[in-house]
Amino acid sequence: MTAPDIRTALPGPKAAALIARDAAAISPSYTRSYPLVIARGEGSTVEDVDGNVFLDCAAGIAVNATGHSHPDVVRAIVEQAQRFIHMSGTDFYYEPQVRLAETLAEVSPIPGPVRTFFGNSGTEAIEACIKLARYATGRNHLIAFLGGFHGRTLGSLSLTASKTVQRRGFGPLLPGVSHAPYATCYRCPVGLRPDSCSAECLDVLEHQILVQLVSPDEVAAIIVAPIQGEGGYLVAPDQFMRRLRSIADAHGILLVVDEVQSGMGRTGRMFAVEYSEVTPDIVAMAKGIASGMPLGVALSRADLMTWPPGAHASTFGGNPIACAAALETIRLLKEQLIRNAEIVGARLKEGLASLASKHPMIGDVRGRGLMVGVELVRDRTTKERAIEERNAVVYEAFSRGLLVLGAGKNTVRFCPPLVLTAGQADTAVRLFDEALGAVERSTRAT
């Protein structure tokens, strides 16, 4: 499929009919940015039910790492489905699950022996990390960061501090959770620059939270995303991650790294934490790990994962079909796609950054690999957030055949499949340029 190829008004008649059916039958809690009704996908392109073709820079929220329906992944899924679909690794054994655990140990950012727990999603992976950290340390308190998103089930939601709508109406949440400022470098909470700072934003954690709110010997874990996804594609400087590791070591606190969105090759490394050369104790992963099949993983140092049978389990976690898809996904990542994410991601980021001279609405362009965020502002000096304008840009991009998503209050995220080509990256920049221009003209007119 060649993208973009928009043939009808959006949504088209078939899409509009299905959206009406959805409104009557599906939970209204889902967030839909625009009326895309997909019929099929191939690589970095998707076709809707009315025959419109889009360039996909959303990848099912950074999930479709190998693109839509990669033939090697499809073949692995079919071959496993023909053998058996489910047997539950909670009560029985099967080779795909063991082999995937062994493969994850080979690519893990944790050196030495590791063990793996399998669930179905990112939030389940985080829940497992919470329980494991408390069990392994005998402590109960947890520290997370403002702006972070770790899931919507009760434990992970207690760590989440991204948007009030995600927490409103669901309290009381898990007790014993504190939130510290994150390294939001474009809007530094202590007014410094990342190229000359020593992660002074962590002073609040080290000298206030751990002094005035909770004793360090009661803290089980610090949970951090090396790049905040829902927070606005905020990249933590390497010195932030290193100082965080030092703080954790000084008090016997476990460092849990949330790689649900930033892991599995998306940043041009298998895991984003590798850039800082920091070794975590526990890693949560999901999204891109199985090219769209439901799979979440909590991976830890082997000496930590010593909980007894029955302490934690999952009926569907590590489903054999999901394991087969993950094994093929990791092979493709290692052989070609991590390198492609690095090269094409640099081209995409450079192209988006070049638009700043033309569009004053662009305040910041940041990211690593094919995880790039463009923060939109109303004024570069005051950095006033362009919230409504961001939403309008996302829709204008859709109307031109480009699929992107928002992140944070006013950032546009580009998280395409890792098979994105250089030509497609250039097309994405061109379409985004047009979308920005349309919104800027509309803003001036009003």
Characterise 56 by phi-psi region: left (phi > 0), alpha (psi -120 to 50), beta (else): beta
Is the Cβ–Cβ distance between 101 and 320 less than 8 Å? Answer: no
Spans of the chain below 70 pLDDT = none
Q: What is the pLDDT of residues 178-203, one digit of tens each?
A: 999 999 999 988 888 877 888 899 99
| Per-residue CA distances from 291 to 32, 59, 74, 269, 372 (Å) | 21, 10, 10, 17, 20
CB count in 10 Å sphere of residue 20 = 10
Give 189's contacts (C-beta < 8 A, 6+ positions apart).
181, 201, 204
Q: How many CB atoms lie within 10 A of CB 2?
A: 8
What residue type is 321 in one-letter code?
Answer: I
Tokens of 76: 């692995």
How large is the angle between the packed helices 422-445 and 338-354, nearest 10 degrees? 30
In this predicted structure, what is the pLDDT of residue 192? 83
Give the amino acid at 213: L
d(Cα 59, Cα 152) in Å, to the nearest integer?
A: 20
Q: Which strands, in side-by-side order, build the sheet including 402-403?
A: 38-42, 45-48, 53-56, 402-403
Structure confidence at residue 444 (pLDDT)? 83
Within the chain, all domains assigned CATH 3.40.640.10 are found at 86-318
The topology (CATH level 3) of 86-318 is: Aspartate Aminotransferase; domain 2 (3.40.640)
**Contact predicate 125/110, CB 8 Å:** no
Please list, in sequence order, all residues whose beta carbon lies within 8 angstroms of the beta carbon of residue 169, skipping any fewer than 6 positions away: none
Q: Which two tokens stand for residue 65?
A: 């790492």
State the Cα–Cα distance between residues 60 and 122, nearest whole angstrom. Answer: 14
Please, are residues 41 and 51 in contact by the beta-carbon 8 Å criterion? no
Domain with CATH 3.90.1150.10 in the chain: 13-70+336-445
At the top level of CATH, which class does the domain 13-70+336-445 belong to?
alpha beta
CA 406 – CA 391 distance, rounded (Å): 7
pTM, two decimals, is 0.95
pLDDT of residue 190: 84
